[in-house]
Amino acid sequence: MSRIVVKVGTHAIASRSGRPDHEALKRLVGEICRLKKAGNEVIFVSSGAVAAGIEALGLKARPKDVNDVQMCAAVGQARFICEYETLFEEQGEKIGQVLLTYHDFEVEKSRQNVRKSLDHLVKAGIVPVVNENDVVADDELKGSTFGDNDWLSFLIARLVGADSLVLLSTVDGLLDADGKAIATVGSIAKVMRLVRAGEKGGLSKGGMRSKLRAVKAAVNAGIDAYIANGRRRVLNSLFKSRRHGTLFPSRSPR
C-alpha cells in the first residue's frame, strides 16, 4: 500500500471560461478511485474554485482586487465540491472537504492538527479533497498564501509521509526540445536552471517553474514526484511499467 498525493491544476479540469469540465472530472475521479481500490491511500488536491467562480459570476478574467478573488473562490468552491461529491459517490467512495491556509503550516500545533485530520480521513476510507482556502487567503500580503496548489500539495505530501506526489497539468510531463515528455529526470537542479517561468492561463497562478519548485522539494524530502497530463487517462499507468509523464525519483530516504 502506498500513500499518494494527487494534485490537479485548473486548466486540466475546467473549460476556458472556468466552468468545471464534467467529463474531465469524471475521468479523473474514476482514476483516483481505481488507485484507492488497488489498496493505495489517496489525498486529492484540487484547484479550480476561483476559475469556477469567475465563470459563474459572468466575469471575463481573474479579478485583480483581492475581495473579488475571494468572492469567486466562495462561489466556485461550492460548484466543484458538489461535482466531486456526486462523482465519487457514483464510484462508491466518500469525500471530505479540507480547506487550508498558509497559517495552518506555520505553527507546529496547527500543522499536526492538519496531519491528524488527514490521517483520520484516509484511515476511515474517505478521500480528502483539499484546496487552499482562497476565501480568506490574501494575495496582497506577501507570504500569506501558498502562491499555488503545487506548493500546497508538496507541504501535504511531506506532512503525511506520502510515498509519491503527482502533479497533473495540461502537458505530458517535462518536455524536451522536440516537445516530447522526458521519462525520468535525474538532476532536478539542472532542469531548474534551464526552465524559464513560461506562460500560464489567465485563470490560474501556477506554471512549470512552480511545479518544478514543488518537485525539487519533494525529491529532497524522499518523495517520488511525477508531472503528467491531467487531460489524459494516465494516473494509474504512472505507477506501472507502461508509464506516462515524467518521473523525478526521490534522492533521500524519508
DSSP output for 143-166: TSS-SSHHHHHHHHHHHTT-SEEE
What are the tens digits of pLDDT across the range 238-254?
888 656 899 999 976 55
| Sign for the pseudo-dihedral over CA of 51, 56, 61, 62 | negative
pTM above 0.85, yes or no: yes
In a domain, 20, yes or no: yes
**Domains of the chain: total:** 1
Distances (CA, A) of 134 to 60, 82, 138, 194: 19, 17, 8, 31
CB atoms near residue 57 (< 10 Å): 14
What are the tens digits of pLDDT across the range 179-224?
888 888 877 766 766 555 444 444 445 578 889 999 999 999 999 9
143 pLDDT exceeds 50? no
In a domain, 201, yes or no: yes
DSSP H helices, the chain, are 10-13, 22-37, 49-56, 66-90, 108-123, 149-159, 188-194, 208-220
Find the CATH number of the domain harbouring 59.
3.40.1160.10
In a domain, 180, yes or no: yes
pLDDT on residue 42: 98
In a domain, 254, yes or no: no
In a domain, 179, yes or no: yes
pLDDT on residue 7: 97
In a domain, 253, yes or no: no
pLDDT on residue 141: 43
Domain with 56, as residue range(s), is 3-248
Strand partners, 229: 169
